[in-house]
Chain A
């Protein structure tokens, strides 16, 4: 199968939804929509009136089962160049140049099976959510655990939807850790993800786990190093570093 050429296209913003204080989800209708693999991303390009261009990558939050449109979830980095523009300037009905879907490395779909461990920090949950939404849409029961690090409960993106997925009792469990302010009465994890925490969450899967790690670069580094020390086969570990973003 020859791939169509990767082209920039104008995506029209059809909805903007706040997720948390720092994050918003944007729905784009795409004239040249193509089914993606969960975990893939789009590149977004801004062009200033003087011709200056800058681009960033954003993971697809929506599952491929959702046709003709994609959803991106973006964290606002206060001193950033692109994310404040998306948050503060872009409006419903506007167009934005995007190209994708991109990347065959950080992808999971139900055919790959499990057991699956998803580890995310902050907005790093976005591509993991595409995997979970796809898993749910396919009524998959692949044993899946997610370990998700946030500053506080208010910063958990997709919190209600994740709780709903966990309540479905279809083999998915979510584990949270809060690095700044755990909710009142919280008895779970309250520190950065470390080797001991990973060992606990991965336990039932042991060395069979397929692991996807995504988030700020330093978090991904720490998690990937811990997994390698646990002697998890390196081919089973996939990483997506977002750069110096957040957390």
Chain B
């Protein structure tokens, strides 16, 4: 293996300073290596520079889902460098696409400085490259949506919709929406659902037909394990395949890049100056296990494997890519009221099968007396409860993952935005659908 400090075998000029994948690079060649991985994922003709365009040519519009993480900064940088290359191909070159960067402030520690970012690349340069930014306040998602009131009986695996379109919702902000759940992982689940919703709506509103997700290979591996652990194994193919629904495409240009490479990239180009969020190293490892989310724990797990089992991340992503959820019947499946994903098996039936809830009846006088006292105690509660109940409660479907996550948080009542499914959002806009 080549040693650090040797002459770089790629450019044969500079000295190597970076090691990755058992190879050494000089800084320039490392950056080119990473960008090459992103280019490969976006090598389709539709992204390429054009020299002859018809007058009615409508430019491809691409949305970059910019999140509060290192990957997003690297993805943005790499795509901007791609556009720069295109713009350098002579005066007749027409850039292959327009880039719309959507920034949702849905993370509590998100310190995003748009002015600083624009200055880093140059305001005029960004304009020339057709890069624009949209900042979205996640609270508007809460205020723009109507809410429904769900009542959950976790013990019976049943959910009722108590009210449609509540006028007097006490949920006024994004944070209040999440804090209906006490468990951190449940809040994380909520925020993932809402984030995807806002992103898709933004893409549709801005006439983008492609969404670039910033997930690195490491993060995809985390997502695959995390879906598995949260009972959402059926959703893995959504995160691994590029195709999303209809003509609408979800892409992962960094899917072949490791987290450690993301960090190196940021360091080399000095991107860490752009946000304090980027310099915070491993804040989580100081937390106790109890206060970590499932994703935190899995990320740390992969970090511990990095040295002895470095191939694990790519192994997991590869097997994830082999999974499918092609159910011919998918259009007829019930959708989950909360996450809107198809329900492949009725979770209620499954749970009843494996968690028995009946009991051994009282065997003697003392036990009968105890039961009597219990009945009296709940009768008092029941009267209060039944007085606020409306008549037209309808039973709604929850997927297994949502049922479990609400159960963990012991949420009995949930006010949740009434949203269309992704297909419904898209069907308003998509005229002809190839698939």
Q: Do A and B bind each other?
A: no
Binding site for A on B (CB under 8 A): none
